[in-house]
Amino acid sequence: MVLLAVLQAGKHPDGAYGITVFDELADRTQRRASRGAVYMTLDRLEKKGLLRSSLTEPLAERGGRARRCYELTKPARAALRESQRALQSLWAGVEL
Amino acid sequence: MKFLAWWLRHVAGDALARDILGDVAESGGGSARLAAIAMGVTLRRAREAFASIVPGRAVGADLRYAVRSLMRAKWYAATTIGVIALGMALATTVFAVVDGVLFKKLPYPDARHLYLVTGEWTSRPEAIVPPSWSDLAAWRAAIPEARFTIAVGGGRVSIDGGEPLRSVFVTSNFFDVIGQRPLLGGLGPDDFRAYAATEARPLVISYAAWQSRLGGDPAVIGRVVQGDNGQRSRIAGVLAPDFVFPIADGRFVPDAIGPEIEPANQVRNRDRAGSVFARTPATLSNDVFSARLQAATSALKQEFPKQPAERGLGPIDAATAKRIDIALGSSTRRMFLVAFGGAVVLVILACLNVAGLSATRIHDRRHELWLRRALGGGRGDVVRVLACEAAVVAGIGGALGLGGAAWLVRLAGAVLPANIVLFKTLSIDARVSAFTLCAVVVTAGLTTLWPVREAGAENIRSRLAGAGAVRRSRSRARFAMVATQVALGLIMAVSGVLVTGSLVKVWRQSPGYDPENTVFLELRARTKTDVPLNQEILDAMRAIPGVAAAGGSNGWFMSRAFGGTSFDEPAGAGEVPGHGIDDAGVTPGFLQASGLPLLAGRWPTDDELLNAESVIVVSEITARAYWPGRSAIGQVLMRKGRPFTVVGISAAARQLSLDTEPDGIIYFPIGVSAYPSLQTVFVRFADGVRPDLARLLAAIETPRFSAYAVRRAMTVQGALGDSVRNRKFQALVFSGFGVAAVVIVGVGVLGLVAMITARRTREMGVRVALGANPSSIVGLVVRQELTAVLAGIAAGGVVSWWTVGFVEAYLFKTPAHDPLLWSAAAAALLAVGLVGAIVPALRASRVDPVMALRVE
């Protein structure tokens, strides 16, 4: 879910970083996740090699700190595609 | 904010903390948002850290798997859980009692500096003598920094016409010295002054008496009550519910504490002062205090030497200051330490037993465990699986043991001797539950460690050295396991058999009279009584259908109380054995009701007894001691200047307790005594008639006989049993340990051999297919286990030779190395070991070779 949120937040002009990823998750799932949990998940996904990050220039509105923007790595995209296929396959022919 | 930033860096790392701080600054969330994020990060980090140590889901799954696995191995589960439950039940019960005796803090503040001071006479070192007022005065002068207080027991105060209150009288600083404050009121200097001025006696009553006799009235302080003897008392205070009087050897809570006025001139006063308690300052050590006490005592002895008339009496020769925690329960402390040691050995035995069974079970599960390793599971995963199963077994066993202990604790409370000092209510409380929990954790740990080590070693060794080395090593381990269990079991069994055998010997002692079908009543006179009233009471009892005889005396019976005699020792008397000579004033019917055998002469006639004539009967011990080598019949004894003629000689009778040798006794007409009150009454029922205690009590407890109160009413057999309550309790504890140990060993050996034999099904099948007959199969299995059992018995025998020293003090006329009792204990262990080996061996001998060869 966080990977998809990063993908969606990537369309944002400022890119996918903590605030935008959290907002995407909150808007689309209509649930309020713990901000701390989101940061920890982003950190863990990066360590697992599913995300990579880059720092922007230091910004005044951030107290002189840079933004850490995330984007999906190749394996993450492959995993998302696999997951999408599996879900579509499961939904095929199902009427509720 | 700074702290949150610091905390975030600490838990999330510098880079992530910087990102978060930047996002918070950008979104304007402030410190509230930062705090929420820090909390979320911390929780997530903690969960990750915890999961790396104890993966929660994995543990849950392993626990569920352990339960399912145990349900498939019902025999193993029942055996191990049963063994642990048995061990835990006994260990918990013993701890519940021991906790109240040994471990619970004394209810006196700074008890290390509170002493019971007793005296000794060098002529009678076994006697504990209350010091005299002159001793006390010398101590107070020599050690002014110590505070001394006196308590005099044995009093009875009537407050409302009901049962008098058992009272202790204390000097003015008693509550200050012991440091326990009454719940309400107290005894202050004003109370003592008022009492000295002959006002109503101030009393601090016990919490129970306050509740039961005065309805728990909160405004009770100051109330004046009048007893049936006309004495007035004023309620000055109420003791706290947990008050325990600091008297040695006895959980004694007096019904009331009253004032004891110290005599004005104490220096030359040689009267016994009472029990002396002292509190010393923290700077005065025990050794120095004792030395100064002794120095003061010696100086007093030199200043006022003992007079010839004070032989065996007078001032003490030596003083002993015992710390109150040592003085209280000094005779029972050792027994409970030994009992606690027994409980620990029992838990170790249960652990060994379960560990042995677990090791065998792990061997049977080796394929499953190797499969787990092959599928990527680490050594930690295997340990977790095994630990979960051990935890389930120990947990269920511990819970069942705790349930069993709740029942056993009630039983222990019923049989606990009255002289055991408990500083808490006997129950399964939080401390006892915590002990059981610790024991369960230790059991689970111990029963996992060894099997896991074995399992780990097997993996490596089986690859390096081949199966033969493993089998030899496992066989040696099993041998050691069985032998150790049997050895520990024998240690416990020997102690149990010795103490129980000793109780049987006590029970076989002849009391000297016929206890069959006889009831014993202990009476207490509320007011002065006389011979006609005694006769009326006895006639009322004789009128009850089925009563064959009734008679009484003013002597104690089975109360461990020795009164001595008022008859003068005749000239030429030899050495008197035991405590000395006692006497008892008796009524008509005493001889018939007590069943006391008459050896020579005659018993005084009823008229002689009723008219208080000068005739006496002496016991054979008295006769031998007073007139050695001569006939006692016709001899004369003087009592307060009046001559009494011996008309008969009775058999020796145990008066104090069943395990105390009979003392000499002189029976005289009760009317001779200035206080002819009945203390003991025997009522013999006709053969075939069941003693009816209720009707007896109904006959006495009437307004006509209100001068008497019944203190105890029971069969003589019951009174005999009651007199050796300590021994019965010791026998219960040690025989319980012994039986539990034998059962645990039996079940353990049976389980171990059954599992090992089941594993050898294929081998047995091959043997049967090759022509082995069932008896040779049985012989093979039994021989292998019997060697271990015999080795265990030998090792246990060597250790027991030393450990019986701990129970030797509790044996009655039983040598600690009694060959018969030792053989019985060894035979019990050998028998359970044999049964444990034979049952699975018989099963193995009936194996079908075709089915067996399909196994594995």
DSSP-derived secondary structure for B203-248: EEE-HHHHHHHHTT-TT-TT-EEE-TTS-EEEEEEE--TT--B--S
Alpha carbon of B376: minimum distance to chain A alpha carbons (Å): 20
Instruction: Find chain B residues with C-beta within 8 A of A17's C-beta.
Output: 19, 23
Per-residue confidence band for B469, with pLDDT thresholds at 50, 70 and 90: very low
**C-beta atoms of A39 and B26 within 8 A:** no
Higher pLDDT, A57 or B613: B613
Which strand (E) or helix (H) includes residue B386?
Answer: helix B379-415
d(CA B160, CA B162): 5
Q: What is the pLDDT of residues B162-180, one digit of tens each?
A: 677 878 888 888 988 988 8
- pLDDT value at position B833? 84
**In percent, how much of chain B has pLDDT > 90?**
18
Q: Is B30 exposed, middle or buried (0-12, 13-18, 19+ CB in 10 A)?
A: exposed
Q: What is the pLDDT of residue B853?
A: 64
pLDDT band at B416 (very low <50, low <70, confident <90, very high): confident
Chain B closest-CA separation from residue A92 CA (Å): 33
* pLDDT at residue B311 tops 50: no
pLDDT in tens, A10-39: 888 888 898 888 888 888 887 777 888 888
In contact, A69 and A15? CB cutoff 8 Å: yes
Residue B715 tokens read as 């069969």
pLDDT in tens, B764-820: 778 877 878 878 888 888 887 888 889 999 999 999 999 888 888 889 888 999 999
Helix runs in B705-773, H state only: 716-723, 725-759, 761-769
pLDDT range class, residue B149, cuts 50, 70, 90 = very high
Looking at residue B463, what is its pLDDT? Answer: 44
Whether the predicted model's global pTM rises above the 0.95 cut:
no
Q: Which residue has the higher pLDDT, B768 or B597?
A: B597
A59 part of contact set with chain B, CB < 8 Å: yes
Cα angle B130, B132, B136 (rounded to 5 degrees) comes to 105
- Residues of chain A found within 8 Å of residue B21, distances taken between Cβ atoms: 63, 65
**In chain A, which residue's Cα lies nearest the Cα of B18?**
A65
Report the residue of A24, A34, A38, A39 to disrupt the B interface, i.e. the one with the largest count of B CBs within 10 Å: A39
In order, the DSSP letters of B459-471 are HHHHHHT-HHHHH
pLDDT bin (cut points 50, 70, 90) of residue B128 is low
Residues 6+ apart with CB under 8 A from B307: B314
Six-digit token pair at B563?
A: 């009164």
**Residue A67 in tokens:** 């933004």
Q: How many CB pairs under 8 A join A and B?
A: 65
Q: Which of B126-130, B425-429, B656-660 has the lowest mean pLDDT?
A: B126-130
pLDDT band at B450 (very low <50, low <70, confident <90, very high): low
CA distance A23 to B599: 110
**What CA–CA distance (Å, rounded) separates B611 from B602?**
17
Across the range A86-94, mean pLDDT stands at 84
Task: Output phi, psi for B601, to 5 deg.
Answer: 75, -145
Q: Do the Cβ atoms of A39 and B20 come within 8 Å?
A: yes
User: Number of C-alpha atoms within 13 angstroms, CB side, residue B739?
Assistant: 10
Residue B467 is predicted with a pLDDT of: 47
**What's the confidence (pLDDT) of residue B161?**
65
Residue B153 to residues B275, B514, B523, Cα–Cα distance (Å):
8, 35, 20
pLDDT band of residue B466 (cuts 50, 70, 90) is very low
Mean pLDDT of B187-194: 82
Is B109 a residue whose pLDDT tops 80?
yes
Cα–Cα distance measured from residue A64 to residue A70, given in angstroms and rounded to the nearest whole number: 19
Q: What is the pLDDT of residue B633?
A: 93
Cβ contact, residue pair B39, A36, below 8 Å = yes
Average pLDDT over residues B636-654: 91
Q: Distance between the two ends of chain B, CA-based, in angstroms?
A: 68
Residues with Cβ within 8 Å of residue B56, at least 6 apart in sequence: B50
* Predicted pLDDT of residue B826: 92
Mean pLDDT confidence for B341-364: 81
| B616/B623 Cα distance (integer angstroms) | 12
Q: Looking at the complex, does the CB of residue B41 fall below 8 Å from at least one CB of chain A?
A: yes
Confidence of residue B330 (pLDDT cuts 50, 70, 90): low
Q: Closest approach of chain B CAs to the CA of A24, in angstroms?
A: 15
Instruction: Name the residue with tokens 């209509």.
Output: A30
Say whether B37 and A19 touch across the interface (CB within 8 A). Answer: no
Beta carbons of A63 and B25 less than 8 Å apart: yes
Residue B736 has pLDDT above 60, yes or no: yes
Residue A18: its chain B contacts at CB < 8 A?
19-20, 23
Render the burial of B792-801: b for 16+ CB within 10 Å, e for the rest: bbebbbeebe
Of A34, A43, A62, the CB nearest to B16: A43
SS (H, E, C) A29-89: HCCCCCHHHHHHHHHHHHHCCCEEEEECCCEHHHCCECCEEEEECHHHHHHHHHHHHHHHH
- Region for B499 from its dihedrals, namely left if φ exceeds 0, alpha if ψ lies in -120 to 50, beta otherwise: alpha
pLDDT above 70 for B457: no
Contacts of B639 (CB under 8 A, 6+ apart): B566, B567, B568, B668, B672
Q: Does B51 touch chain A (CB under 8 A)?
A: no
Q: Chain A: give the shortest CA distance to residue B62, in Å.
A: 27
A27 touches chain B (CB under 8 A): no
Yes or no: say if A38 and B36 are a contact pair by the CB < 8 Å rule: no
Q: Across chain B, what does the average pLDDT equal?
A: 82
Per residue in A35-79, pLDDT tens? 888 888 888 888 888 899 888 888 888 888 888 899 988 988 888
Of residues B394 and B453, the one with the higher pLDDT is B394
Q: What pLDDT was estimated at residue B614?
A: 93
Torsion sign (Cα): B721, B725, B730, B732: positive
Of the pLDDT bands very low, low, confident and very high (cuts 50, 70, 90), residue B640 is confident
**CA B489 to centroid of chain Cα atoms:** 22
B13 vs A contacts (CB less than 8 Å)? 43
Separation in Å, CA of B43 to nearest CA in chain A: 9
How does residue B312 score in pLDDT terms, banded at 50, 70 and 90? very low
Chain A: give the shortest CA distance to residue B36, in Å. Answer: 7
The three-state DSSP-derived secondary structure of B76-127 is HHHHHHHHHHHHHHHHHHHHHHHHHHHHCCCCCCCHHHEEEEEEEECCEEEE
Q: Which residues on chain B are in Cβ contact (under 8 Å) with A19? A: 23, 26-27
Q: List, as one string, the DSSP characters of B534-568.
A: HHHHHHHHHTSTTEEEEEEESS--SSS-----SBP
- The predicted pLDDT at position A70 comes to 92
Mean pLDDT of B560-577: 75
With CA atoms as reference, the chain A residue closest to B27 would be A19
- Residue B106, CA distances (Å) to A56, B97, B103 in order: 71, 15, 9
* pLDDT reading at B74 higher than 80: yes
Closest Cα in chain B to A69: B19
Q: What is the mean pLDDT of residues B305-334?
A: 69
Is it the case that residue B669 has pLDDT exceeding 90?
yes
3-state secondary structure labels for all residues of B793-855: HHHHHHHHHHHHHHCHHHCCCCCCCCHHHHHHHHHHHHHHHHHHHHHHHHHHHCCCHHHHHHC
Bigger pLDDT: B644 vs B242: B644
Amino acid at B426: L
Question: CB of B129 within 8 Å of any CB in chain A?
Answer: no
